[in-house]
Amino acid sequence: MKNLWWRALGPVTLISLLLTGWLGLWVTPRAQQQGDFARLVYLHPAEAWVGIYLSFGTAVVASGLYLWPRTRRAAVDLVAASAMEVSVVFLVLTLITGSIWGRPTWGVWWAWDARLTSTAVMAVLALGYLAYRYSFDDPTRRAQRSAILALISAVNVPIIHFSVVWWKTLHQGATVLTPGASIKIHGIMAWTMLLSFIAFTLCFVWMTRVRYLIARRAQDGARTRLASAIAARQSEGGV
C-alpha cells in the first residue's frame, strides 16, 4: 500500500498542477483592478508557502533532529539537504513571480521592500547552506555544521512572515485571511487557490523524496566504492 502511494504521488501531483493551471487561467474570472495579472495569486502564494515555510521548515526541523543525539541519523541529514534544495527552487520561483506581479502593480520589477528583501536574503542563506555542505569532506562534520547553519538561518522566517505587519511595505498583507479573520477571496477563486496550495505541497513531497533517494543512492555508491577499494588494497598487500 505504501509503495502504491509513492508510485501514485507523481501522477497525482502532475494532475493537480495541471488542474490548478486550467482553473487559474481559463475558469476563474478576471480581477476588477489587476485584471489577468491577479491570476498569479494561484501561483505566487503557494510557491512562497513551499519555499519559505514547508521546504525551509522541513530542513530546519530535520537539522534540529540531527543535532539531537537520540535522533541523529545520516538519513535525517539527507532529508535536511534535500528539503533545502527544494526550498531554493521555490524561493527563486517566488521571487520571479513576485517581480512579474509587482511590475504592473507597483510600476517596478523590484523594490527594496521588507518582505521582498527578507525573502531574497532567505534564498541567499539557502544557497549558502548548500555551498557550505560542499566545503567539508567528513560527512559527520558536514552534517553537524550544516545543521547549525540551518537553525541560525531560521531566524529569518518570522522576519519574512511579520514584515508586512512590523513595517510599512509595498507588499500587500494577507490575501486569504486578514488579521480580523475576514476572508478576502471567495467562490471558485478561493477553491482554485486552495487547490494550488495542495498541488504545490504534493510537488514538494515528490521533489524532496526524489532528491533524497538520489542522495542516498550516491551515498551508498560511495560506501561501496570505498569498501571495494579497501578490499583491493588488502588483497594486494596479501599477495
Percentage of residues of the chain with pLDDT beyond 90: 48
pTM: predicted TM-score of the whole model, two decimal places: 0.86
Instruction: Examine the pLDDT at 62 and tell me if it is beyond 90.
Output: yes
Residue 23, Cβ neighbours under 10 Å: how many?
19
Question: What would the pLDDT profile of 151-205 be if each residue is shown by its tens digit?
Answer: 999 999 999 888 777 767 666 655 554 555 455 666 888 888 999 999 999 999 9
Instruction: Examine the pLDDT at 19 and tell me if it is beyond 90.
Output: yes
| CA 197 – CA 70 distance, rounded (Å) | 33
pLDDT at res. 181: 45
Percentage of residues of the chain with pLDDT beyond 70: 80
Choose among 228, 211, 175, 142: nearest CA to 40: 175
Min mean pLDDT across 67-71, 195-199, 215-219, 223-227 is at: 223-227
Q: Which of 21-25, 89-93, 161-165, 179-183 holds the top average pLDDT?
A: 89-93
Mean predicted lDDT score pLDDT of the chain: 84
pLDDT at res. 184: 64
Residues 6 or more apart whose Cβ sits within 8 Å of residue 76: 62, 65, 66
Instruction: Examine the pLDDT at 67 and tell me if it is beyond 50.
Output: yes
Residues 6 or more apart whose Cβ sits within 8 Å of residue 31: 37, 38, 39
DSSP 1: -
Question: What would the pLDDT profile of 99-151 be if each residue is shown by its tens digit?
Answer: 888 777 777 777 788 888 899 999 999 999 999 988 887 888 899 999 999 99
| CA 210 – CA 162 distance, rounded (Å) | 32
DSSP 168: -
**13-164+177-211 has CATH 1.10.760 classification:** no
One-character DSSP codes across 42-108: GTHHHHHIIIIIIIHHHHHHHHHHHHSGGG--HHHHHHHHHHHHHHHHHHHHHHHHHHHHHHHHHSS
HSE-CB at 115 with a 13 A cutoff on CA atoms is: 22
Strand segments (E) across the chain: none
| CA 236 – CA 134 distance, rounded (Å) | 32
| CA 178 – CA 181 distance, rounded (Å) | 5
| CA 231 – CA 239 distance, rounded (Å) | 13
Instruction: Examine the pLDDT at 73 and tell me if it is beyond 70.
Output: yes
Residues 6 or more apart whose Cβ sits within 8 Å of residue 228: none
